[in-house]
Structure 1
């Protein structure tokens, strides 16, 4: 099942995507879904970020080759950091390049996990019980600031630096999905989630030992090798097999 968050005029709703239509659901997508009876053509709605999380917990260096391209060895334990909820944007929205503050902004295509219920200290064997589904993500990063600061909050926390979408796929099996990132149609990243150093159950167990996860919270599972710079005017797309494609254009920040 694909669950989208969308707007029609000034109205925002959640809905179930079925082919080229979306059927609106009452309230939120957590728990039993209740259809309202309203149905819209996908081309007539605006897809939004599929969820507005209380927090985005991201995993660094979770593909061996990416760890090496960043100048280090793969970590023994997951490396976690946070992106603010204000960084989240949806498909088709613009990534704002803050030229006054950074001279290098990179794409990082990833698979994102959407948490389905409040949980803490979840054992890996039960991790699937707390997952609503999966979506595509781009962990946009001001690479020069990351290197200068020695920690990642500023580099990864700018407004618009966490595109998510186009919807939440509840039926995907995340164990071995292809991830591809393109810039202006050219493939820059290509990998599979089977190459993750720490798989999704392990990540949920690790993160939930540290903090309580709430419905709608996001775990970014890490980016594969091939990260690189974006320029103003570029169109960047992240495609995850069985999930969909997230596309955003880069613009100058005012």
Structure 2
């Protein structure tokens, strides 16, 4: 099952996606994040029976527009860790992204002139939590995962490396395309390709099972630090092929489209606009 947050003239609404252009509204819920607050959200979504509506790419909002927490994982694909010249970690590297950073999966990303000098791409798999998870064991973690989506994590490298803390280069306003929808955990199989394109050039590719710390391990680790709530998002890290690691460095330019696709989840594509 696929669930989306769709824009309309009256606001947004949660919907069950039927095809890539049609969906059945789920009455009473403004977005997928609101729906996930209800214990029997899956049953509600499955039973939605209104008239299907058509939507276009630009009608899609970030699938969970305002999660309580967005927890990001750095250096979590083996090939990316190696290209950055680091050893495989014993524990996940965590940092946070604020909800203000999220935008629709096909929205333009507006980049201010003071932050566009070393603009990089990072295609990522996002895990969406379905119910409160506190001190969860890895073997039980799937019971707490609602589903998965795609994240287009634009990264301002010049800001990121101003200090030892990465957050400031990772959370610029409306720079993370998120969606196109949530594919429920029972409808997604790990191991397919994650690929990022800069225009027509494929710049990242890896199977999703190249993660050092998979979703279950991350839920266990994070939920032993603080609880994860329904609608919270774990952004699991990016594979090798980022522009900053290239010699010479390669960066996103004005007008460039960054597309991230994950087999089984769909794709997001954001046009870069320098302000």
TM bucket (normalised to shorter chain) is over 0.9
SS of 1:7's partner is strand
- 1:224 and 2:239 correspond: yes
Kept in 2: contact 1:3–1:29 (CA 8 A): no
Deviations 1:4-41 (A, max 9, x none): 00012133100001123100002243223152614201
Aligned partners of 2:261 and 2:77: how far apart in 1? 17
Alignment RMSD, CA only?
Answer: 1.6
Aligned partner of 2:142 in structure 1 is 128
Aligned partner of 2:2 in structure 1 is 2
Query: Within 5 A, what are the aligned runs for 1:113-192?
Result: 113-170=127-184, 171-192=186-207
Aligned partners of 1:196 and 1:116: how far apart in 2? 21
- 1:112 and 2:126 correspond: yes
**Aligned partner of 1:206 among 208, 212, 221:** 221
Aligned partners of 1:45 and 1:98: how far apart in 2? 22
Shift of 1:68: 2.4
Aligned partners of 2:273 and 2:91: how far apart in 1? 36
Segments of structure 1 that go 5 or more residues without pairing to the other structure are: none
Higher strand share: 1
Tell me which moved more, 112-121 or 65-74. 65-74
Shift of 1:45: 7.3
Kept in 1: contact 2:115–2:158 (CA 8 A): no
- 1:233 and 2:255 correspond: yes
SS of 1:149's partner is coil
Aligned partner of 1:42 in structure 2 is 55
- 1:29 and 2:35 correspond: yes
Deviations 1:197-220 (A, max 9, x none): 111110110111111111111101
Q: TM-score, normalised by structure 2?
A: 0.87
**Aligned partner of 1:244 among 245, 263, 266:** 266
Deviating 4+ runs (over 6 angstroms): none
Kept in 2: contact 1:8–1:45 (CA 8 A): no
Shift of 1:93: 1.0
Aligned partners of 2:257 and 2:57: how far apart in 1? 22
